[in-house]
Structure formats: structure tokens, C-alpha cells
Structure 1
Amino acid sequence: MIGSILRALAGHDRATPATPADGMPEAGLTRLGFLKLAAAGTVAAGFATSACAGASAKPGRVPPVTSIDDLYDAWQNRMNTADLEGLVDLYVEDVTYINPEGVLLHGKDAVRKDFEGILALKPQIVLGDRRHILWQDVALTTNHWRMTYPGADGTTQVMTGGGIEVMRKQADGGWRYIIDDASRSASK
């Protein structure tokens, strides 16, 4: 395909007459040659776009959250929609995490297991009073949260607390938690 584009640009495309009446090759492309070139370019661009998208997207990987201001909304949305993989993607592999009950956990796998249990409750969370302080590629953040979920008896249960987190901007431009203290003690 690239060869046909180069031939068309060089005027060697078969749709371009080799010699006009005066015996000299025409400069430029004929209308048909131009249309073939445009079509080939469109097809090539489509393949290149598909190839680039396939190369940059890893299966199961969500796009990184590149704005620290959007990180709270992304976390809240992923929790409220039970997007386990999207939620876990907001953490680095070796994250230190303290869950709402005060249990210290290490690593994404431990966070995933903890979130599986929380998401089974079908919670809805609101992160309020959000604040962050930036230093280069590191952020210290705080928030207060309110989580509701259906109790075993059908009544709405409410849990409140606070979070203190440390996030770092990663090589892919996304902000991810390196330390997350979601325990209720963080709000005291």
C-alpha cells in the first residue's frame, strides 16, 4: 500500500498517462490518480490509527486519570458503578492501603480483594470536602466521605469517614494512589 502511494506521488501510477500528446510526462496527478491516492491515504491512516490504538491500549486497562482534580470524581464514579478494575487501576502495584475498618493492606491484589467485599454491598459513596496539596509529581489529599448501602434487613445503612491519601503522577501521565488511608480515624 505504501508503495502505491509513493508511486502515485512520483507520477508512476498506472492511472496517470505515461506520455501525453507532446511526449513529455505530465507533472502532477490526474483526477483518477488523486482519488486513488486519497483513498489509499485514508485506508493507510485507518490502519495506522487501529495499529496505534491496539499498541497503546492494554486489554482490561482503563485510560489514566491525568488531572488530579478529576481523580476524586473518577474514584467516586468507579466505586458507585462497581467498576472493580477501574477502581484498582487508580492504585500503584505496591500501594499501602488502610481500609475503612482500619486494616492495613499492601499491594493491588489486597486492595482488589477488599474492594470486592465492599462492592458486594452495592454502596453509593460521596466524597466531599476534597482538598489536595501538590509538590512536583506528588499530591497529599484529604476528603470526607459518606457511604450508603442496603442492609440485610432492607434498611439503608450509612457509614461516614475521612480519607488521607498520597498520590504520585505516573509515567503514563495518570495520578495513582501510593498511600490511601480510608479509615474513619483519618477524619478525627
Structure 2
Amino acid sequence: MITSIYRTWWRLLSDDVGNPGTNAEQADDLTRSEFLRLMTMGLVSASAGLSVDRAFAQMPSDTTPVTDLDKVYDAWQDRFNAGDLDGLLALYAADVTYINPDGAQLIGQEATRADYAGLLALKPKIEIGDRKHAVYQNIALTTNHWTLELADSTGAMQKLTGGGIEVVRNQDGAGWLFIIDDASRSAS
């Protein structure tokens, strides 16, 4: 992942001659994935060895099961906006299939944790709207549109939009859990 971030950072900060610097034309072509990679690169550089796990260690976690399907996105949004990594992952099945914004398919909570850790360290805020559910017994297909705000390396606020499509399953005592989360979809 660090190599991917470095390559993106270098490509975005190199001008046509190959010298480091800012190139306005390249900055205009910045995709959501490239922006998030660039932000992670800045965070890693700025943290000077502070581990993300230690940064989140002091935060209280909400791992309360969500038993009302209509409250799943509320809980996810609240935990995401609070930077509650453990609480957020408590909404995922242990063997979840998570497709990140780059389209990489990650299996399990630990792979999902690693992907979210860098993003949550940036203290983003998300608003999830246009939520829809199609339910079959204890499984639901859910969709949404979201708006994400976070500061770039200069402190300027950036607004990203997209959409999600997820499959959740009611796990009785564990409530509704994400079993498939595809964050690579764009909002239409």
C-alpha cells in the first residue's frame, strides 16, 4: 500500500519534466482514490511513527448490535464520523467481503480494518442519504448515496460524493451485519 501511495504522490507532484512540484493540470484530474491515497501519504509522513492503532486506542467504542434495519446506516455514519474503528467494524461480519473505493476486494474484518484505519485517521465526516432496502428473510440488499468531507494537505476542505451497495444479514443477537460492502460504486 505504501508503494501505491508513493507512486500516486510522486505522479501527482511531478511536472512534465519529472521534477517535483505542483502541476495544476494534474491536480484537476485527481480521482477520489488518488486523493485518498495522497491524504494517507501525508498522514503517514506527518505522524512520524505514531501508529494508527495507538491513535484510536483512547477512543470509546460503540459495539452495540443494531437490530433495526433502518438504523444500520445511522450507526455506521455515527461510528465513522466519531472515528470509532472498533465500533465501525462491529457492524461487519467476521468474514465480510469489502470492496474498497479502488475496487480491491478484501476479505475479513482485519483487511477491512487496515483499509479504514488510514481514512479514519484523517477525521472525515460523511453524510449518508437516499437509503433503500430490499429485504428477503434475514438478508437485505441496501443502497445509498453519500457525501464525504475532509481536509486536504493544505487544510482546504474537499467534498467527495459516491454511492454504496451493501448486503446485510440479521445475525440474531449480533443484529444486522454487513456481509458484502461495495464502496467502489459511484453515485448516479
Write the distance in 2 (CA, Å) between the matches of 1:64 and 1:155. Answer: 36
CA contact (8 A) 1:167 1:179 kept: yes
Percent identical: 55
Write the distance in 2 (CA, Å) between the matches of 1:134 and 1:112. Answer: 27
Give structure 1 stretches of 5+ with no counterpart: 1-59
Write the distance in 2 (CA, Å) between the matches of 1:61 and 1:156. Answer: 28
> Would you identify which runs of 4 or more consecutive aligned residues in structure 1 move more than 2 Å?
none
Q: Secondary structure at the match of 1:184?
A: coil
CA contact (8 A) 2:145 2:163 kept: yes
Write the distance in 2 (CA, Å) between the matches of 1:122 and 1:102. Answer: 22
Compute the RMSD of aligned alpha carbons: 1.4
- Alignment map for 1:58-77 (pairs within 5 Å): 62-77=63-78
The alpha-carbon deviation at position 125 of structure 1 amounts to 0.1
Alignment correspondent of 1:184: 185
CA contact (8 A) 2:100 2:184 kept: yes
Q: Secondary structure at the match of 1:172?
A: helix
- How many aligned positions are there? 128
The alpha-carbon deviation at position 101 of structure 1 amounts to 2.3
Alignment correspondent of 1:111: 112
The alpha-carbon deviation at position 61 of structure 1 amounts to 7.2
Alignment correspondent of 2:152: 151
- Alignment map for 1:40-79 (pairs within 5 Å): 62-79=63-80
Alignment correspondent of 2:124: 123
Deviations 1:111-146 (A, max 9, x none): 111110110111000001000011100000000011
Question: Quick one: structure 1 residues 154 and 112, their matched pair in 2 at CA, closer, same or farther if it must change by over 3 Å?
Answer: same
Write the distance in 2 (CA, Å) between the matches of 1:111 and 1:88. Answer: 8
Q: TM-score, normalised by structure 2?
A: 0.65
The alpha-carbon deviation at position 171 of structure 1 amounts to 2.9
Write the distance in 1 (CA, Å) between the matches of 2:165 and 2:74. Answer: 16
Q: Which amino acid aligns with 2:139?
A: V
